[in-house]
Structure 1
């Protein structure tokens, strides 16, 4: 056994002491004598013991993939490992998620509906209301908590995104972090996405340095999963494990080594319309969809491929080459895990549940795609900038698309193609395109006859399925909390019977006002445009048992069935706290969000050592008036470095000293704007101050106030700003004090560019509206 493995096992043991299972004092069955020679061991078991021959359980959840992307479900992206798992297991073609990431994960982990566990949409914008606040109840235990109480070791590796954002601070609380919800170990990122080369990583509750030294995040995650399993199997070879593996793939940014992108060079030049036709034919050949299915009309705004200009075709094809390379790379890395399980003779006794997507393909690239990261979608620059200008800028970065130099997501035309044969996309909870995803269950011990399963099911059913197959018991209480019942319907009945009648009869869907209700092959639904009044919503009706991709609206011809389902939705809404609906003309203002410690402070004091604090969990710098003061000691004319930085190379803000001058930099989706003091700094103690006076504006390019720099209350620089300059809420990289961890906000310096003087503290003051 290597020294590294010995250290890992020691850490594992110490970790268990910190995250103990429920373990009441057992009765002693031996003899306790007056001396050791008179004592006989009772062979006392102090911890839960798993059921005999209980399988290892592995959940693998991918992100934003699309139903028609992977070759395992007819797509043109090569995924040989997924193909092998499907060909030796079961393909489920009628499996559904919630239409967006956090709710899907909450359903998966708990076996319950997402409003039932207070996760109505992405956790970052949870609202302080029942069913919406982002705090998953302890009365609704996770699969990790249940497995651990049944004698399993439990590991989470990859994307989490179900801890309330206000809790993502160094003060926690940590009881809703992965290690507080049943996982012995966690290694991954807490947000909805992260950079694949400079990620915001945590191990358990400790920050991990973001520099991966050129390695891709998915590679690092699989390495960590193997490390956890190796340590566990070395220390307790007869003990099963539960692994929750959730790489960031293929959520944006679509980044991967160039060799994976080049693998697909030229293969999508025929465009997204040809892709849809080819995939539809492949899906029919595989038996994924009925032969009668035709392609629905295109989603709004998507142009026919043949109508595009040569430059549009060139850059759009490159976007999908990058995406395809990313997905194939993910398949390869998951293959390393599968081969490792085979090498250690655990594969045959491992239940693998592979979900190829947590929702439909992503619309977050807009009509043009983007190259500077998710903030182009969040701040709406994706939609405000001129189409032609965006195409020219993307073309300028053509050779970098998909590499670490860009943060890309493909245009909506490719999202539509990746979702073949369905309409609509991620976030559209009304539609099969938003909610239907490929599911593969692989378990050699139980599945002897591979095949296809068409029974209706939902992501809330995965945990009940695993519990039944593994023979686990749901404790009446977990950590002192009496447990509520599971809400999903186990799929174990389908493993040996392809013709078994479906048992999941009713299921609601709702994300930001888009909503639907399913019952026994019928579905009533509403597409809601975010920001529109609910009074304009129109219900539609589909018989999805016969019309799998929702092309024939029967609302006008069968109003009685529509009314029946509408009434059912209302009953479900009351039962699961679906209301209030989000996404109408009422903005989700700070006052409505679930509060964190910084949200209630007029003044915040930050000290050196704070690093990668998520922007939503940090003092807000977003579209309001504030000041940042740094109490420092300047040693000499060579003193330099970061005072406060938020974000990284694609989007962010930096307050720093360089060349003996006080400076700030705005990185607005790759567009750099600077302000520099007119006079140099002097050695000694000083208060260096930045102020932003915000005037509300409509568009990002509109004037929105002023910003200024001060040295000891003397103004040394000032400029007028736009709304874009005041839109400081970077997503992929957080707030740092005294350095710029991760990637540099501005190319004028190299990260981490730590401050070489003495930085005592940073004070952020917010002006009252």
Structure 2
């Protein structure tokens, strides 16, 4: 086996404060000893009070990365060096026909439960769940997670990293917490609840308790590995014969792409030849490794992607830098996973550990647009990527060249690199119709079971992983978990492939659907439609592919084989009704907040919030985007020098903040790094006051169009007013949430340093939707 980097960590005992896990099934048993009137008349007998795992049961580790394309890591032919992944693959099995759902939350829900994602009510990212069966975001307890199953089998269970499958309405300090990680079978959780987070000031939780976000310069992936090792160290010290399950899901390599400069400089100049050459070199490596058929050719570039040779010198410069950062981020992740693997080896646990490594929860990300971005994912969410001048964007990115990848940036590469890292496939993350959106590398490593590395080509899906692991470990799903009768698993175990590379595929049918884009697979044939969001489904044009002969979907057979297409369309319809895929979303019917699953804060016209409330995710907080609202802060001031944040939502890349500075009330919008502010015309005075902000929204079409006014009041006296644009009114920061009385994460405005706690007495803040 190849050498893996040694670990460096402190041996710590993890305090599992704040956990709210359900009890394991452990009924009281008849006492086997003798109970006499006195101790001398009694006989002690050993009494097992807790479930015990079968003797020799393996440790189980799930490692899932985020937004990594099929052709990124060297383990699958990519040009990004991942020696740890290479080692696991070379001493385990590479699965080349493994599929995810095309986007993060559904993939994670399917992985943990062994079911299809609509079966567990997770149709797309959990933030966009809507109130229909199959779509509401509430994973049923009748469909237990692998953690719930393993706890009943006597395992300790830990989740470290990204979660992103708790319904948005439940992500408040009031919970309920039964669908947080510790409510779905994990003894302990340390990580972030949203889809992404900053790598240096992350929104972290331990169990259900908020963790201060400042990592003091450490990278999040390093901190996550340290925490995973601490959990395992404590468990192994207390019960060395007890197996554990670790669900390790770092934010890498989802945006923002941030990593220490030393990792970036390792790749300086190595991608100057561009994405076209990258694709050619990776395809040649994939063929040499035996990962793709020898006759595979590269598909055309995705729409809008320019030939690298046609780019200007500035475009080449900044685009190469984006990918140097990405490559450094992925290599750093590989190194950190190596610390975890080395720890298990050094503590003599690795030989009895089953490692499932999934390199990406979907295809490479399109969220950088054609230009890439440096100010965070809100440039994609708000639409700036698609409405601003391309040339102006390139000029701005060039001016920030030295910051790309640092904590002062929130980068994601342009889609030309996304397709390159998806080599040899076309299309990307979110495209449930395509192999580029749904095919990811799977590596299974288990020294006890796998004696020689190899490649497996049998068709499989992320819902196959949990059934596979349970079969390999000799475990079964309890008929009842926490009082809930359990439904059947829906994935097909891959255990039959471990020692039989030539075995025929047993996973015959699989549907895919994200936001109306959809496909259906049956025994090598695939019918698919790339639905354009916002258009009627009657406009959709289905395509047909024979994947047995056309590895990367280059030859549409719909016209040549209409009967086969019709057969598969009928099969999709059947599967869609069976697994609650309908109704399809993404047509001309707009998904308004009224359709979303709504929580206690975003379903009232008025919400009173108190200091101490921090980092409530945007979708869980009162909804402020593109609508009129009023903020009233009830304060008491000692003098005219009060300062600090009253309300902040978001962080340094995007958000809104209402605060006092130099005795004056201020409001600042951070629109992807562009700042607009409103300052009161006079200073505050000592005494009680109601500090009021009012946004009067007028619907607008373009981000730059006028969209109403915003006004500041002190005790009903108007002290400032200005006209706003639609961009100011789109208040949907994704990485960081809502804080009252301070700015808990990174500062929304550079006018202050977070947390910038309010120095007066803040009684409460009321948000009113008139």
TM-score norm. by structure 1 comes to: 0.98
| Pairing of 1:24-43 with structure 2 (within 5 A) | 24-43=27-46
**Given the alignment of the two structures, is residue 732 of structure 1 paired with residue 735 of structure 2, yes or no?**
yes
The aligned counterpart of 1:242 is 245
Cα shift at 1:598: 1.6
Q: 2:58 aligns with which of 52, 55, 73?
A: 55
Match of 1:384 among 383, 387, 403: 387
**215-224 or 26-35, which deviates more:** 26-35
Is 2:585 the counterpart of 1:551?
no
**1:620 Cα deviation from its structure 2 partner:** 1.1
Counterpart secondary structure, 1:371: coil
Q: Aligned pairs, how many?
A: 761
Aligned-CA RMSD value: 1.1
- Which residue is equivalent to 2:523? 520
Cα distance, 1:660 vs structure 2 = 1.0
Contact 2:156 2:187 in 1 (8 A): yes
Tell me the equivalent position of 2:349. Answer: 346
Counterpart secondary structure, 2:490: coil
Matched, 1:104 2:107: yes
- Counterpart of 1:540? 543
CA distance in 2, matches of 1:64, 1:37: 66
What residue in structure 1 maps to residue 7 of structure 2?
A: none
Structure 2 gap ranges (5+): 1-9
* 1:269-321 deviation line (CA, Å, top 9, x unaligned): 00000000000000000000011000001110000000100000000000000
* Aligned counterparts of 1:55 and 1:333: Cα–Cα separation in 2: 22
Kindly provide the CA deviation profile for residues 471-517 of structure 1, in whole angstroms up to 9, marking residues without a partner as x. 11210000000000000000011111100111100000000011000
5 Å-filtered alignment, 1:573-588, equals 573-588=576-591
Partner of 2:257: 254
**Correspondence 1:206 to 2:213:** no
The answer to whether the 8 A contact 2:95-2:441 is kept is yes
Q: 1:75 matched to which residue of 2?
A: 78
Deviation at 1:19, TM superposition (A): 3.9
What displacement does 1:599 show? 2.3
Are 1:170 and 2:173 counterparts?
yes
Distance 1:16 1:583, change over 3 A: closer
Residue matched to 1:718: 721
Whole-Å separation in 1 of the counterparts to 2:516 and 2:568:
17
Question: Where does residue 226 of structure 1 map in the other structure?
Answer: 229
Asked if residue 484 in structure 1 is aligned to residue 487 in structure 2, the reply is: yes
Structure 1, unaligned runs of 5 or more: none
Regions of 4+ moved over 3 Å: 4-8, 14-19
* Paired position in structure 1 for 2:6: none
Whole-angstrom distance in 1 between the partners of 2:669 and 2:21? 43
User: Which of 745, 755, 758 is the matching residue for 2:758?
Assistant: 755
Q: Pick one of 142, 161, 166 that aligns with 2:164.
A: 161
Which deviates more from structure 2 when the two are superposed, residues 36-45 or residues 603-612?
36-45
How far does residue 20 in structure 1 lie from its aligned partner after superposition?
A: 2.2
Per-residue CA distance 1:29-76 (angstroms, 9 max, x = gap)? 111121222222221111111011100000000000000000000000
Residue in structure 2 matched with residue 287 of structure 1 by the alignment: 290
In the aligned structure 2, how far is the partner of 1:573 from the partner of 1:454?
A: 26
Counterparts of 2:19 and 2:383, CA distance in 1: 45
Aligned to 1:597: 600
Does the 8 Å contact 1:19/1:184 carry over to 2?
no
Distance, in Å, in 1 between the alignment partners of 2:561 and 2:481 is: 47
**Partner SS, residue 720 of structure 1:** strand
Cα offset, 1:5, TM superposition: 6.7
2:307 aligned with 1:304, yes or no?
Answer: yes
- Measured in 2, the distance between the counterparts of 1:149 and 1:631 equals 50
Q: Cα 1:404–1:5, aligned 2, differ >3 Å: closer, same or farther?
A: closer
Give the aligned partner of residue 151 of structure 2: 148
- Residue 617 of structure 1 aligns to a residue whose secondary structure is coil
Counterparts of 1:541 and 1:27, CA distance in 2: 62
The aligned residue for residue 424 of structure 1 is 427
- CA drift of 1:18 comes to 5.8
Do 1:15 and 1:184's aligned partners in 2 also have CA atoms closer than 8 Å? no
Deviations 1:538-584 (A, max 9, x none): 11110001111000111111111111111110100110011111111
Q: What does the per-residue CA deviation read over 1:308-358, in whole Å, with 9 as the maximum and x for residues that have no partner? A: 000000000000000000000000000000000001100000000000000
Q: Deviations over 1:357-379 (max 9, x none)?
A: 00000000000000000100111
1:474 partner SS = coil
